[in-house]
Amino acid sequence: MNLRRISIGIAAITALFVFVAGSARLSRAQDGGAMRPKPTEAQMLDLQKQFEDASIAADAAKVSALMSDDAIFVHGSGAVQTKAEYIASLTSGQLKLSTYQMDGGKVEFFRGGAVVSGPTQISLVAPGGAPPRTLRLLISTVWVEKASGWQVVLNQGTPIAPPPAAPAH
């Protein structure tokens, strides 16, 4: 891996943490500084499931309510979309999901937010009746508490490498 790629990755991660911390502070300031009781891990996993189900259903209103206006969606391919672009790709049929299922998700809380991550199976419906293409990704979703409720500010998928082939005997 070249040094430039590593440097870009480190810069992106640093920018993410600065963005998330700033969003959390802004949301508390907009909410008068009031903090609601911290949700449970089960409640955060339920929010993640709602986001997945709304994406499968191409439910623009629900996806919009669950995403911050400044949200970023990073696909496993590396393609990046804004909230508006992600919703447009779902509603136009450009991105059609038949499966979006996190398995064994974990939740890490930070002040004003949470990261939900876990291995996820996503099946993309192929055009022209071809069989769906199934992806195995490690999805990390950053949720921030805002005045209107919990919203996604970042969703990123990283491909999970297939297990190594069994040695020939």
Q: Is residue 169 part of a domain?
A: no
Q: Where in the sequence is the domain holding 142, given as residue range(s)? A: 3-159
Q: Is residue 35 part of a domain?
A: yes
Over the stretch 113-147, which tens digit does the pLDDT of each residue have?
Answer: 999 999 999 999 977 777 889 999 999 999 999 99
For residue 21, being part of any structural domain is answered with yes
Please enumerate, as own/partner, the contacts of 147-151 that have beta carbons within 8 Å and a separation of 24 or more: 147/27, 147/30, 147/31, 148/65, 149/65, 150/39, 150/44, 150/47, 150/66, 150/114, 151/65, 151/66, 151/67, 151/68, 151/71
Is 126 inside a domain boundary? yes
- 75 part of a folded domain: yes
Answering whether pTM is above 0.95, one says no
Instruction: Indicate whether 16 belongs to any domain.
Output: yes
Quick: pLDDT tens for 30-76: 555 556 788 999 999 999 999 999 999 999 999 999 999 999 999 99
> What total number of domains does the chain contain?
1
Residue 7's CATH number: 3.10.450.50
